[in-house]
Copies of this chain bind each other. A is one copy, B any other.
Amino acid sequence: MSQKVQIPKKKDLLTPLVSPGNVRIVEVGLRDGLQNESHSPDVKVRRELLHQLVKAGAQSLEVGAFVSPKWVPAMACSEELVEAVLVDQKNKIISENVQLSVLVPNEKGMETALRLGVQEIAVFAACSESFSQKNINCSIEESFQRFDVVAKLATAHQIKIRGYLSTCFGCPFEGAVDRSLVIENVQRMLDLGVYEVSLGDTIGVASAGDVERLLHPLLALVPPARLAGHFHDTRGQALVNILKAYNMGITSFDASIGGLGGCPYAPGATGNVATEDVVYLFNSMGVNTGLNLERLVQTNQWLSQHMGRKLSSRVSLANLSKSTIKMKGEMS
Q: A residues near B, CB below 8 A?
A: 170-176, 202-210, 212, 233-237, 239-240, 243-244, 247, 263, 265-270, 274, 277, 280-281, 283-286, 310, 313-315, 317-329
Contact = CB atoms under 8 A, between A and B. Distances in A.
A286 B310 CA distance: 36
Contacts of A239: 236-237, 239-240
Nearest to A318: B268
B267 A310 contact: yes
Given A281-B208, A314-B235, A315-B236, A327 B269 contact: no
Contacts of A317: 267-268
A32 B234 CA distance: 26
Given A175-B328, A175-B329, A208-B284, A235 B277 contact: yes
B240 A327 contact: no
Q: How many copies does the complex hold?
A: 2
Given A207-B284, A267-B310, 13 more contacts: A172-B325, A207-B281, A233-B314, A234-B324, A236-B239, A236-B314, A237-B280, A237-B281, A240-B281, A266-B321, A267-B321, A268-B320, A268-B321
A21 to B, nearest CB: 14
26 contacts: A175-B328, A175-B329, A176-B327, A203-B324, A204-B318, A207-B281, A207-B283, A208-B284, A209-B283, A209-B284, A210-B284, A234-B324, A236-B239, A236-B280, A236-B314, A237-B239, A237-B281, A237-B284, A239-B240, A240-B281, A247-B247, A266-B324, A267-B310, A268-B318, A269-B323, A270-B314
Contact of A277 (B175, B212, B236, B265): B236
B235 A315 contact: yes
A171 B298 CA distance: 24
Nearest to A268: B321
A286 B318 CA distance: 32
A284 B207 CA distance: 6
A172 B318 CA distance: 13
Contact of A240 (B212, B243, B320): B243
A172 B268 contact: no
Nearest to A206: B284
A208 B323 contact: no
Q: Which 3 A-B pairs have the closest CB atoms?
A: A268-B321, A236-B314, A266-B323
Q: Which of A209, A235, A244, A267 gathers the greatest number of chain B CB atoms within 10 Å?
A: A235
B328 A235 contact: no
A315 B171 CA distance: 17
A248 to B, nearest CB: 12
Contacts of A243: 208, 240, 243-244
A323 B267 CA distance: 8
Contacts of A204: 318
A136 to B, nearest CB: 16
Q: Which of A239, A320, A323 gathers the greatest number of chain B CB atoms within 10 Å?
A: A239
